[in-house]
Structure 1
Amino acid sequence: MPGKTHAAIGVMLTTMILLPTNDIKYTLANTALAVVGAFTVDIDTAKSQGATFLKKIFGTIVAVIILGAILKIEYNINIFNYILENRAIHQLIPGLSILVGALIMGVITPHRSFTHSMVGVIAFTIPIYMLAGPLYKGFLIGYIAHILADMLNEKEVKILWPMKKGICLNLCSADGIVAKILFVVSIGVTVLQYKNYFNI
């Protein structure tokens, strides 16, 4: 399915699960991570929106690190204080290391294998939890929603990777009418959730 459909499904489910019992700021932050989770699953496909999205994020992070180093060396301005004040360094370094390892594994394994498996769910969710704390919930919802949506079409999802056998329900094509309907329904349900939240 297209990346926008995966993202919309992740946003819808995160909103449905979290908005009724949490404040809007927490829900919106989790919703943002749901989009990241939904896109992360497809980093095993070079041309996917997920891979492109994550490459842009990675490029931005590298640019920020370089800029931060220059500002620190030249002007003694530390732009990383906010990050370090909010997450302990002993969580940041291992979390980033595990995340980088999972990303590398995702890139070098075939499509619908590692990143589409329970091993992938765990490998990505642990570092997100270490880096973002309770906001891992949105990431996890978006990630799992992507895998479940992929099971609807004609290509196998190796959910029990490294086992070779996969699951496919063969109910629709990856980019057919069902994907378009799921996108529209997901957007509609999300809007209704916020409409009810604000009593509009």
Structure 2
Amino acid sequence: MGRREKRSAMTGRTHLAVGAAAAMLAAGPAAGLTGLAVAAAGGAAGSVLPDLDVRDTAHPWRERLTRAGAAALLVGALVYDAVSGASLAREAMARGLGPLLLGAVGLVALACAARLSAHRSFSHSLLALAGFAAATYLVCPPLAPYLALGFATHLALDALTYRSLRLFWPLPHGFSARLCKTGGVVDACCLVAALAVIALSCWRALS
């Protein structure tokens, strides 16, 4: 991967933290620890979905670690929710088998399409955001808005960098604000701010 490619995106850890922080802010302290855990997990999962199209990076272990972190947050939140009363599981099962299967098939199909797409094309589009949100809603409605928000934060952060993303795919035109690069000051500031929001959200929920 060339130097320009390396500088064309925020780091995975920044996407993960900002997605989780935005979702926790949206949930608010009234959601309690369980609600915040679900929100953070949904936001984190949504924040890594656009980069399913990344197949070759300068540091592939970082991509794997970011995805593993999002998966761990999601599994942890679901386990915590189950221990706390399984509200997500009850709501999902109450919708019936049909929506669950349709949503699951939709998620798999969208993930495959994102994986096979060129970087910053379909997977970084508003169409993909809507598709993942709709499929998630069929499987687990409470998780869908947080996943969509995390996905949106990824698109917003990448739009600040040097490489264009095709928000309105399949239209060919892309957008790039060309304001920052990977590992730069803006990237670091976003990461620190997101971690501060996460810590503050947890503190407010506990107080």
| TM-score interval for Structure 1 and Structure 2 normalised by the shorter chain | 0.7 to 0.9
Partner of 1:96 in structure 2?
Answer: 104
Give the Å deviation of 1:169: 0.6
Looking at structure 1, the residues matched to 28 and 55 of structure 2 have their Cα atoms a distance apart, in angstroms, of: 34
Give the Å deviation of 1:177: 2.4
The TM-score normalised by the length of structure 2 is 0.76
Aligned-partner residue type, residue 184 of structure 1: V
Looking at structure 1, the residues matched to 125 and 199 of structure 2 have their Cα atoms a distance apart, in angstroms, of: 30
Give the Å deviation of 1:12: 1.1
Partner of 1:33 in structure 2?
Answer: 42
> Within 5 A, what are the aligned runs for 1:5-16?
5-16=14-25
Question: In 1, are the aligned partners of 2:29 and 2:204 still within 8 Å (CA)?
Answer: no
Residues 184, 52 of structure 1: alpha-carbon distance in 2 compared, 3 angstrom cutoff = closer
Partner of 2:122 in structure 1?
Answer: 114
> Within 5 A, what are the aligned runs for 1:183-198?
183-198=191-206
Give the Å deviation of 1:99: 1.0
- Does 2:190 match 1:176? no
Partner of 1:24, secondary structure, is: helix
Partner of 2:53 in structure 1?
Answer: 44
Residues 2, 145 of structure 1: alpha-carbon distance in 2 compared, 3 angstrom cutoff = same
Backbone CA RMSD of aligned residues: 2.5
Q: Which structure 2 segments of 5+ residues have no match?
A: 1-9, 72-88
Partner of 1:140 in structure 2?
Answer: 148
Aligned-partner residue type, residue 135 of structure 2: P
Aligned-partner residue type, residue 28 of structure 2: L
Q: Give the paired residue count.
A: 175
Residues 152, 90 of structure 1: alpha-carbon distance in 2 compared, 3 angstrom cutoff = same
Partner of 1:105, secondary structure, is: helix
Question: In 1, are the aligned partners of 2:29 and 2:36 still within 8 Å (CA)?
Answer: no
Aligned-partner residue type, residue 12 of structure 2: G
Residues 135, 127 of structure 1: alpha-carbon distance in 2 compared, 3 angstrom cutoff = same
- Does 2:23 match 1:4? no
Looking at structure 2, the residues matched to 198 and 192 of structure 1 have their Cα atoms a distance apart, in angstroms, of: 10
Bigger radius of gyration: 1
Q: Which structure 1 segments of 5+ residues have no match?
A: 58-80
Give the Å deviation of 1:43: 0.2
Question: In 1, are the aligned partners of 2:20 and 2:42 still within 8 Å (CA)?
Answer: no
Residues 83, 188 of structure 1: alpha-carbon distance in 2 compared, 3 angstrom cutoff = closer
